[in-house]
Amino acid sequence: MKWLLLLGLVALSECKVYKVPLVRMKSLRQKLIEHGKLQEFLQTHSVNPANKYFPTEPANMMADQPLQNYMDMEYFGTIGIGTPPQDFTVIFDTGSSNLWVPSVYCSSPACSNHNLFNPQQSSTYQATSQTVSITYGTGSMTGILGYDTVQVGGIADTNQIFGLSETEPGSFLYYSPFDGILGLAYPSIASSGATPVFDNMWNQGLVSQDLFAVYLSPNDQSGSVVMFGGIDTSYYTGNLNWVPLSAEGYWQITVDSITMDGEIIACSESCQAIVDTGTSLLSGPSNAIANIQSYIGASEDSNGQMVISCSAMYNLPNIIFTINGIQYPLPASAYILQNQQGCASGFQGMNLPTASGELWILGDVFIRQYFAVFDRANNQVGLAPVA
């Protein structure tokens, strides 16, 4: 359950030998000298014929996928699926593992106002008989699986399995500003065993490092990005602190404690959390979150939203998440969300039981403060304050 995938054959036949007269031709050097181009050629080409015997550094294959910040609540980018590409906006979601988009097979209201994938308009589409069903904390989908080329951040990810929705029940996806979801968690939690997009990229040698990184901009600003295959150090200050994963499904880590003014207000004996770009708020077990809401003075309004005085943004202390011995402070300006109607708490109660206990979700409220690197090669998350 998710909240907010030469063999060369040479034929040898009878050989005949033909004698061909040799004609002495002018060398390339002679031709260049005659046309006054030798110096230009030497300046723009390697002059050491032995260079081909020495290995060169591998190309730094890294791709940036820009994201749009939608009211500090959702971050999505545009991908292309098929040949020629059909464009879709998708959430790049580290809390799930499947790629899916609405399709022409879908009759739900949510498919009436979003882009629809049409397999008949793609020359590279390959159908399957497999089905897929995914339930999120908000919204769900069912559909079929197919293969096609997916364009992500300038990378052509060929033979990528993805879901074509047939149903998208409820109102959440109808009102969503994005079309579908591109999951970036581990294959182990992918519905129907579908290979996630990043795994397919890595398996095809399309990126030079088995990791990706995320920067989420604050205050509805532009500049949010997912970096596939590399890290841009200009997005953070200081050093990346590496946190080993406690489980490899979600990007799950251990939080040591959550404190305010030196007092533990939640997670007193450590707790499990996932780093999730697909969840807007910072979520945790209902009882623990209720305790935090009380500490910061948030109260429920008639719409069920936890509201708070905007002036509290300037008076409340940091809430500190200690992770792997390192403190990650969240200032009140981060955990209090301001909009035209007023201010609301960035914390949300949500019970997510697992074998390792109730999970916390470090969503966009947290990730806006900390540049995050998702390192598949070493099964760890890197965190550093955003620049």
pLDDT band per the 50, 70, 90 thresholds, residue 153: very high
**How many Cβ atoms from other residues are within 10 Å of residue 130's Cβ?**
14
Same domain, 238 and 350: yes
Same domain, 311 and 251: yes
Residue-wise pLDDT tens digits, 178-201: 999 999 999 999 999 999 999 999
Q: Which distant-in-sequence residues (6+ apart) come within 8 Å of 289 by Cβ? A: 266, 283, 347, 348, 349, 350
The structural domain count of the chain equals: 2
Q: Could you tell me the CA-to-CA distances from 6 to 200, 205, 254 in Å, in that order?
A: 18, 15, 43
- CATH code (residue 128): 2.40.70.10
Structural domain of 297: 233-385
Residue-wise pLDDT tens digits, 204-216: 999 999 999 999 9
Residue-wise pLDDT tens digits, 301-356: 998 999 999 999 999 999 999 999 999 999 999 999 998 889 999 999 999 888 88
Task: State the pTM of this model.
Answer: 0.84
Please compute the mean of the pLDDT values over residues 356-370 and round it to a whole number. Answer: 95
Q: Which residue in 72, 179, 276, 364 is the catalytic one?
A: 276
Q: Is residue 8 part of a domain?
A: no
Q: Is residue 38 part of a domain?
A: no
Q: Is residue 21 part of a domain?
A: no
Residue-wise pLDDT tens digits, 259-274: 999 999 999 999 999 9
Q: What is the 3-state secondary structure (H, E, C) of 297-337?
A: CCEECCCCCEECCHHHHHCCCCEEEEECCEEEEECHHHHEE
179 labelled catalytic: no
Tokens coding 67: 């994201």
Average pLDDT over all residues of the chain: 88
d(CA 308, CA 335): 11
Tokens coding 322: 């200690």
276 labelled catalytic: yes
348 with 282: CB under 8 angstroms?
yes
d(CA 339, CA 335): 13
Same domain, 187 and 277: no
On the question of pLDDT at 32 being above 70, the answer is no
Q: Is residue 185 part of a domain?
A: yes
Out of 215, 247, 281, pick the residue that ends a domain.
215
d(CA 250, CA 1): 11
pLDDT at position 292: 97
pLDDT at position 349: 96
Same domain, 72 and 187: yes
Please compute the mean of the pLDDT values over residues 216-223 and round it to a whole number. Answer: 94
pLDDT at position 296: 97
Q: Is residue 20 part of a domain?
A: no
Same domain, 77 and 117: yes
339 with 348: CB under 8 angstroms?
no
CA distance between the termini of the chain: 34
Same domain, 81 and 186: yes
d(CA 70, CA 81): 23
Q: Which residue in 72, 93, 179, 199 is the catalytic one?
A: 93
Same domain, 129 and 254: no
Same domain, 210 and 254: no
Residue 92 or 4, more confident: 92
User: Is the preceding peptide bond at 84 cis, omega within 30 degrees of 0?
Assistant: yes
Same domain, 186 and 279: no
